[in-house]
Copies of this chain bind each other. A is one copy, B any other.
Amino acid sequence: MRLSRYFLPILRETPKEAEIVSHRLMLRAGMIRQEAAGIYALLPLGLRVVNKINAIIREEQNRAGAIELLMPTVQSADLWRESGRYDDYGKEMLRIKDRQEREMLYGPTNEEMITEIFRAYVRSYKDLPLNLYHIQWKFRDEIRPRFGLMRGREFLMKDAYSFDLDQAGAQHSYNKMFVAYLRTFARLGLTAIPMVADTGPIGGNLSHEFIILASTGESEVFCHRDYLSMAPPSAGTDFDDKAGLQAVVDQWTSLYAATEEKHDKAAFDALPADKQVSARGIEVGHIFYFGTKYSTPMKALVAGPDGSLIPVHGGSYGIGPTRVAGAAIEASHDEAGIIWPEAIAPFKVGLINLKPGDSAVDAACGDLYLQLGAKGIDVLLDDTDERPGGKFAKMDLIGLPWQIIVGPKSLAEGKVEVKNRRTGERQLLTPSDALVLVG
């Protein structure tokens, strides 16, 4: 992408309303714009990040055997009356009346709707297990929306729903998502720790939150230090191997890790002092096993091997891609701006033309731009007339992993400068060596 033809509205001033760094940096870097309280437009740069997050989530959901569909945002109130949650859900649910005065709502989550879809089609235990997911906009009418995408009212969520014949099957489905989440967050460049958690309005008695540590976290969390260096499960993980998968989950749940609500002070204090981590945490994922909480009232029954009708055991599994974008910035930034993990950077390379109009510099930039594109590398070419200082500041602010800086002086010696955004390291290289380094 050529910046002269892109839409990247950088703010010079730090917006006053933004309380936390990710919100400030997303506004300044032209990633988001607030359209109403807790409701944001994703500007082109922000959308690119969210799309990359979605793609990784999707790959790992598919790898774990989940199947993607797409449910609508607007739901019928009657569906929620069946589960008993319509009245329970309170004011966070955005309630709507259509022109026929039918009671509708903007889905805050989809347990009821997916249960309706399941019961409409699935009749036999032979069709189980089944895990269906979607990535769709949700709305929760928070009384105090804040922190930008981290706690918006309209937000994107990947939510998966598993259906099994019994608790043992459901545990395996839970483990699949547990492992998929470990892999997902690792690929997103985040160190997320699964912590025993409250189930809240989703219900059930087994739940883990995936938490990343950041000083701006919304709640206090407690865990064993070894979690910070555990290697995530490999891409070769066999999700059908029940025992193998259980062993991975056992490894990741054997050490102490709990959210504030589930904190056991005595157990935590019993850890060696140098292994105790008490910190602020940001929830980036949450998984639940809730048994027959929805299938029983909503009559999601399948015929078992003996022909008897059995309510299915369910779980649900959520990641907020828009929230992950904010969390990634909370975990990785400096004074100059964002430092994206490579996997979710909006572009991998920022190519800076220090002197547009200089034919040699233009030619070198054009050539690098084409070669990067041919290698499948996303590149943003700053071909604008802005002064070098402004270009450097902008590239640092938007946090692309690599910068390639092309100016007349070094180019006269056949060199370009390559800067690593994270380390700050700079090297003078030939263009072809630069291509190798950033590739």
Contacts and interface: CB of A to CB of B under 8 A. Distances in A.
A7 B69 contact: yes
A39 B74 CA distance: 8
A120 B69 CA distance: 36
A39 B79 CA distance: 14
Chain copies in the assembled complex: 2
Interface stretch (A136-144, A246-254, A292-300): A136-144
A72 B7 contact: no
A65 interface: yes
B69 A44 contact: yes
A320 to B, nearest CB: 15
B69 A154 contact: no
A364 interface: no
A104 interface: yes
Interface in A333-367: none
B117 A41 contact: yes
B70 A47 contact: yes
Interface stretch (A92-100, A191-199, A203-211, A404-412): A92-100
Given A7-B130, A141-B98, A42 B70 contact: yes
A74 B154 contact: yes
A33 B91 CA distance: 29
A68 interface: yes
Interface string A311-339: 00000000000000000000000000000
Contacts of A139: 74
Interface string A107-119: 0000001001100
Contacts of A30: 121
Contact of A91 (B50, B75, B99, B137): B99
A368 to B, nearest CB: 21
B35 A154 contact: no
Nearest to A7: B67
A160 interface: no
Contact of A35 (B5, B46, B76): B76
Contacts of A94: 74, 96, 98
Nearest to A91: B99
A209 B79 CA distance: 38
A5 B154 contact: no
Given A7-B67, A106-B106, 20 more contacts: A5-B67, A9-B122, A30-B121, A35-B72, A36-B74, A36-B75, A36-B104, A39-B72, A39-B75, A41-B71, A41-B113, A44-B69, A44-B132, A46-B69, A47-B68, A73-B154, A74-B94, A74-B139, A94-B98, A99-B143
